[in-house]
Amino acid sequence: MEPIRGSVSIDAQNIMPIIKKWLYSDKDIFIREAVSNGCDAITKLRMVDSRLAQGASVHVEVDRAAKELRIIDDGVGMTEDEVKKNINQVAFSGAKSFLEEYAKNENQEDAGIIGHFGLGFYSVFMVSDKVTIDTLSFREGATPVRWESEDGMQFTMSEGTRQTRGTTVTLHISEAEEEFLDVWRVREVLERYCSFMAVPIYLTEVKPEAEKKEGEEGEAAAQETPAEEKPINDTLPLYAKAPQDCTEEDYKQFYRKTFREYEDPLFWIHLNVDYPFKLKGILYFPKLKEQFGGIEGQIKLYSGQVFVADNIKEVIPEFLMLLKGVIDCPDFPLNVSRSFLQNDGYVRRISNHITKKVADRLTGMFKTERETYEGFWPDIHPFIKYGVMRDEKFAERMKDCILYKTTEGKFLTLEEYKERNGEKLPNKMVYTSDPARQDAAVRLFTERGIDVAVMDTAIDVNFLSYMEYSGDPESKFKFCRVDAELESLTSEEDAPQLDAEKLTALMREATGKDDLAVEVKPLANDKVPVMLIEDEQTRRFNDMGRLYGRKEFTMPAKYNVVLNSRSQAIAKLAEREKDERSVLLAHQLYDLAELSRQPLEAEQMTAFIRRSMEIVELAASL
């Protein structure tokens, strides 16, 4: 063939700077594009003649001495005309025309051609001073072709010297990008982007001779190290297999290897959809335990076994980002850089389907494996509560499967809680945010046969409010912490009458708080002399302010001091004339009630200890 010089045909002006600075946000993505093209070439060969393609593979060679990175495939190769069409005309999709040609053969299945041997190829100029293509078509009588360019715009094309079918793309790496001459860096990129490509990929490091013989002239000859025995990728990843062909250990090994985890997942969902779109994947539920803040999952998105990105919010609903998994959808409408999704309506359908499958798995487990579901609840409840608050459809599916763990270790749905406690506690659920510290208040309820739910994680602050405003408005169902609910703890039967005005004045003088709200009520349990009741809504508002670091939005706390008229200690105080001793005891009772809620401030604690010693001395002198 006659040598040809020319300029690459493009529709947009000066496209190379755009490719280098904007089209690909991550520079290392050029390896994915170049290797994808090699895989496509082999996929095309399989479609033409599967026998020729037996044993075909892609080899990536790192040659630091020559400052070259080579991507070699033994696929279909290209003729002179195909190079002109696929390389010299930027944005021409060779994959598209190839599929259109072979679609006439009704026996051909979608073989998953992934590359655009056009714009994708031009990403290699982000890191190269010069790029060379040496190719020979599989077609009988074809002539080898050599294509060379230093900037991706001007090229020379001539007859090549390649003797075997396929294509070698040689990147002369620029000085600023020599990190891509480090075999470990290249391995890292290959494992990130190409670990599941459907064609075997081998990585080879080309090394010079260790030493030159003394007196030998010329440079040391490059010596190629043998290719690794195993490809760096898994051509048939677990998620691409039928679920019935996968064992429990297979799922666990895939999880540990893919996400570099040492702890096994709780359980998983294997997605295998053929209609109305093709989608495969595995979603894993990791152990979240009680901590929710700061946890971030990792869902890897693939298109035709080619890695696209992690955690793409258009595809993966935000609440599912707590999970780990892989999603592969060859129908994703990607733009040319394979990094950004288009066609919102289509993507939304995929996202909704993933959400539905997750909800189906959870509700199915709840209905048929309730004991297993309860065992997982301490780990998965933050994820489910977050999902319920963030996704209306997910909330609708999961509303009957939300559990509330009680201080007695029972797991109850909202309806089950109402059935057990509705007579004693209508339209309410009592809960504790700290079972140990609030133990005295918890016992007031459990001794009366009322279940107390444990809501002690950060997400519960928002979740309780969500459940109240999203429920049936007519039911007016409320959640009350154990130190904010008294109605179910009082009993007027045989209740003694005490001087409430006298006790109020005593408590105000003891605490130095003239506006202290004091109530005298007959609590059913006569062993609790005093309780501090805090307004539920004010406390929740302040909790959320602290949770989000917005202390400036907190409101003054609203407390009521409730004195138990059935307590002998309170009855004795009511009978006594006010003196130093009664003030001392009143102040001590107030601090005990405060201490049951939260730690005392430093000065309060010092005064409390000193006062305790005084009371001990008084008791000893009696």
Q: pLDDT digits over 369-405, tens only?
A: 999 999 999 989 988 999 999 999 999 999 999 999 9
CA-wise closest residue to 327 among 349, 348, 352, 310: 310
Q: Which residue has the higher pLDDT, 214 or 199?
A: 199
Q: Which residue has the higher pLDDT, 575 or 134?
A: 134
Architecture of domain 238-387 in this structure: 2-Layer Sandwich (3.30)
Q: What secondary structure letter does DSSP report for 20?
A: I
Show the beta-strand stretches assigned E in 54-101.
58-63, 68-73
Q: Which helix (H) or strand (E) holds 284?
A: strand 279-285
Domain range list for the chain: 4-207, 238-387, 403-489, 492-534+555-622
Residue 336 has pLDDT above 50, yes or no: no
Residue 442 has pLDDT above 60, yes or no: yes
Residue 448 has pLDDT above 60, yes or no: yes
CATH fold for domain 4-207: Heat Shock Protein 90 (3.30.565)
Report helix angle 500-511 to 568-575, nearest 10: 90
List C-alpha distances in Å: 46 to 113, 233, 270, 475: 11, 19, 29, 65
**List of residues 6+ apart from 442 with CB closer than 8 A:** 407, 432, 435, 452, 482
When the pLDDT of each residue in the chain is averaged and rounded to a whole number, the result is: 82
Residue 538's identity, in one-letter code, is T
pTM: 0.76
383-415: buried (b, 16+ CB within 10 Å) or exposed (e) per residue? bbbbbbbebeebbebbeebbbbbbbeeebbebe
Residue 362's identity, in one-letter code, is L
Residue 123 has pLDDT above 70, yes or no: yes
Q: pLDDT digits over 238-254, tens only?
A: 999 999 999 999 999 99
In percent, the amount of the chain with pLDDT more than 70 equals 82
CATH fold for domain 403-489: Rossmann fold (3.40.50)
Q: Pick 492-534+555-622's CATH classification: 1.20.1440.130, 1.20.120.790, 3.40.50.360, 3.30.360.10.
A: 1.20.120.790
Residue 465 Rama label (left phi>0; alpha psi -120 to 50; beta): alpha
Q: pLDDT digits over 179-195, tens only?
A: 999 999 999 999 999 99
Residue 379 phi/psi, 5° resolution? -90, -35
- Sign, Cα dihedral of 539, 544, 545, 546: positive
CB 134 within 8 A of CB 171: no
Q: How confident is the model at residue 233 (pLDDT cuts 50, 70, 90)?
A: very high
Task: Report pLDDT for 550.
Answer: 62
Q: pLDDT digits over 494-544, tens only?
A: 778 888 889 999 999 888 888 888 989 888 888 888 888 887 788 777 777
CA-wise closest residue to 452 among 420, 496, 475: 420
